[in-house]
């Protein structure tokens, strides 16, 4: 078993205006998340979120605390949200084991000493995507399916953004501290997400894109509304969105993405909207 943890440091919006393509990708794009029999993660100093993935194939993988945490175990001071984007898998928390099918989730609160991942069928292994944030109290473990989510249907085919937002790990569903996670599914024929765009200085966000064929790509838009930039991305890649940045995308076909947020405010609707006609 191999565990990798990369540390990313914050960047100021005035500096980001001058980044070239390579520098933008170095600071914000997260690649090689899903690697067989590995746990890979990025620790971002933006609100100290962790985003990563685990792909158990030949062996069970244990989520241990990387050195940057200086913790006895991963959830010693953290909460954890996991969504499976692969074959059916098992998440074991302490002595309790949970079966997590495709596109379903589990929330693991602070204080649960041991978390492991395994797959039901190694020919179709689970791809566990996870986010983690600092937690101020111990909370319970709760498995969450799409039927438990707070569901929103937005957009239209005429606007190329017909989509379903599944708010899976939010305060209305689980006893989270600051972490929020959900999954947005775009309808066939729709390619735009999160448009009109917005920012929220109270929270940062990470997007993880999946259900993209190998020959497809998604163009993620970021930056201040008057200084937007873009990053081309592919299947099972993530992107870090600072508090001052918009986070939107358009792709060569429809897709699904997982969003994860943490920071000052746990109100999902706390957003500062940007008129499409004002973007530059």
pLDDT above 70 covers a percentage of the chain that reads 100
Q: Dmax over Cα atoms in the chain, in whole Å?
A: 54
- The pLDDT of residue 269 is 82
Kindly give, in sequence order, each residue whose CB lies less than 8 Å from that of residue 277, ignoring residues fewer than 6 positions away: none
DSSP secondary structure letters along 41-97? EEEESSTT-EEEEEB-SSS-EE-PPPGGG--SSTTSSEEEEEEE-SS-EEEEETTEE
- The pLDDT of residue 271 is 84
DSSP secondary structure letters along 149-209? SEEEEE--TTTT--EEEEEEESTTTS--SS-EEEEEEEPTT--EES-S-EE-TTEEEEEEE
Average pLDDT over residues 50-68: 97
Model-wide pTM > 0.75:
yes
Task: State the chain's mean pLDDT as an integer.
Answer: 95
- The pLDDT of residue 112 is 84
Query: Is the pLDDT confidence value at 113 over 90?
Result: no
């Amino acid at each position: 078993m191999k565990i990798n943890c990369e540390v990313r440091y914050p960047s100021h919006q005035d500096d980001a205006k001058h980044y070239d393509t390579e520098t933008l990708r170095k600071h914000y794009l997260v690649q090689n998340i899903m690697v067989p029999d590995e746990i890979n993660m990025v620790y971002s100093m933006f609100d100290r979120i962790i985003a990563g993935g685990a792909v158990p194939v030949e062996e069970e993988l244990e989520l241990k605390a990387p050195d940057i945490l200086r913790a006895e175990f991963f959830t010693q001071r953290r909460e954890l949200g996991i969504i499976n984007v692969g074959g059916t898998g098992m998440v074991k928390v302490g002595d309790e084991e949970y079966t997590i099918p495709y596109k379903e989730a589990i929330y693991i609160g602070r204080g649960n000493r041991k978390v492991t991942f395994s797959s039901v069928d190694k020919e179709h292994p689970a791809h566990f995507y996870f986010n983690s944030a600092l937690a101020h109290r111990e909370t319970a473990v709760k498995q969450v399916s799409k039927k438990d989510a707070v569901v929103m249907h937005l957009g239209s085919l005429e606007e190329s953004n017909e989509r379903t937002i599944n708010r899976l790990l939010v305060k209305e569903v689980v006893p989270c501290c600051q972490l929020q996670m959900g999954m947005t599914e775009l309808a066939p024929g729709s390619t735009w997400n999160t448009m009109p765009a917005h920012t929220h200085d109270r929270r940062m966000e990470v997007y993880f894109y999946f259900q993209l064929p190998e020959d497809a790509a998604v163009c993620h838009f970021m930056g201040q509304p008057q200084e937007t930039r873009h990053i081309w991305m592919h299947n099972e890649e993530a992107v870090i969105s600072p508090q001052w940045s918009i986070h939107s995308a358009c792709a060569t076909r429809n897709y699904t993405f997982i969003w994860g947020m943490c920071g000052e405010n746990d109100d999902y609707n706390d957003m500062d909207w940007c008129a499409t006609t004002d973007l530059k």
